[in-house]
Amino acid sequence: MPRVRRLKQLRTYEVALSKHGLGPVAGVDEAGRGACCGPITIAACILPDHPVAELDKLTDSKQLSPVRRAQLLPVIKKHALAWSVVSVPATVIDTRGIQDANISGMRRAVAALDLRPGYVLTDAWRVPGLSCPHLPVTGGDAAVRCIAAASVLAKQTRDEHMVELGLRHSGYGLASHKGYGTSSHLAAVRRHGGSPEHRYSYANVAQAHEEWLRGSHRESREGRA
C-alpha cells in the first residue's frame, strides 16, 4: 500500500485501493467469536468512496454504545453499495471448530454480496479461498471504515438475535450478556443445564453442564432412596 494522507471517516485504505483500480473494497468482521452460546455472526460491507455525513461517528462496534449501534445499523444499510450478514450456529461451531466457522463464514459473507468486490479488508484474520485479493488489517475495525461498518452489522445483528434467543431459552440471561461466559451465565448453566444454543465444545460450558448433570443424577438417586 503506497503512503497516502489519512482521510477522514477512516477511508484511507478504501480510497487508495480504489484509485489503483482495486475497488470496490469490502470490509469483513465478525461478532461472537469469544461467546460460549449462540452463533458467530460475520458481515461484509462495501461503502461508497466519498464521505457520508451520517457515518461521521462510525468506529469499532465495541467502542459504540448499544443505542448508537442500533442507530447506525439502518444508516449503514441505507448507504452501503452492498452488504451481507452470515450466522454460523453453535452446532456447526461444535462440529468444525470456531476458527473454521469464522473463516468459512467470512468467505460466505463476501460471496453473498450483491456487488463483487475487487479487494477485501478483514479485521486481523487471513481468509484463504477468497476469489479476490485481500489484506488482514490489525485493529481494522477501528482503522478502516468498511470494516467498522461490517463490525456494526455483525454485532448489532447478533445482539438482536441473542435477545430473541433469550425469550426462547429463559433463565440464562442471554439478552444481557449476549452469550458470553459471565459468572451469572455459567451459574445458570450449572443450574439449568445447557440449551441447544450453547457451544458444548467450549470447556466452560462443558464443565458447567457436567456439574448440572451430576447434580441431576444425585437428586434422582436421592428421590428413589
Sketch the domain layout of the chain as residue ranges.
Answer: 8-168, 174-224
What backbone torsions phi and psi does residue 16 show, to the nearest 5 degrees?
-60, -45
pLDDT band at 2 (very low <50, low <70, confident <90, very high): very low
pTM of the prediction? 0.92
Q: What 8-state DSSP symbol labels residue 5?
A: P
Kindly report which listed range (60-64, 106-110, 178-182) carries the lowest average pLDDT score: 60-64
pLDDT attached to residue 72: 96
Cβ pair 97, 32 in contact under 8 A: no
Please report the sign of the dihedral spanned by the C-alpha atoms of residue 165, residue 167, residue 172, residue 177: positive
CA distance 105 to 122: 12
Per-residue model confidence as pLDDT tens digits over 84-126: 999 999 999 999 999 999 999 999 999 999 999 999 999 999 9
Which residues, other chains included, contact 23 with Cβ-Cβ below 8 Å and sequence gap of 6+? 14, 17, 49, 117, 118, 119
CATH number of 8-168: 3.30.420.10
Matching residue, cell 465478525: 30
pLDDT attached to residue 223: 54
Across-strand partners of 218? none
Mean pLDDT calculated for residue range 199-213: 97
Mean pLDDT, all residues of the chain:
92
pLDDT attached to residue 206: 98
Cβ pair 26, 85 in contact under 8 A: no
- The CA dihedral of 96, 147, 21, 5, to the nearest 10 degrees, is -140
pLDDT attached to residue 215: 85
pLDDT at 194 over 60: yes
Mean pLDDT calculated for residue range 35-62: 94
Task: Dump strand ranges (E) for the chain.
Answer: 25-31, 40-46, 82-88, 119-123, 134-137
pLDDT band at 218 (very low <50, low <70, confident <90, very high): low
pLDDT at 74 over 70: yes
pLDDT attached to residue 185: 98
pLDDT attached to residue 57: 87
Mean pLDDT calculated for residue range 128-154: 95
pLDDT at 7 over 80: no
pLDDT at 224 over 60: no
Mean pLDDT calculated for residue range 27-38: 98
pLDDT attached to residue 96: 97
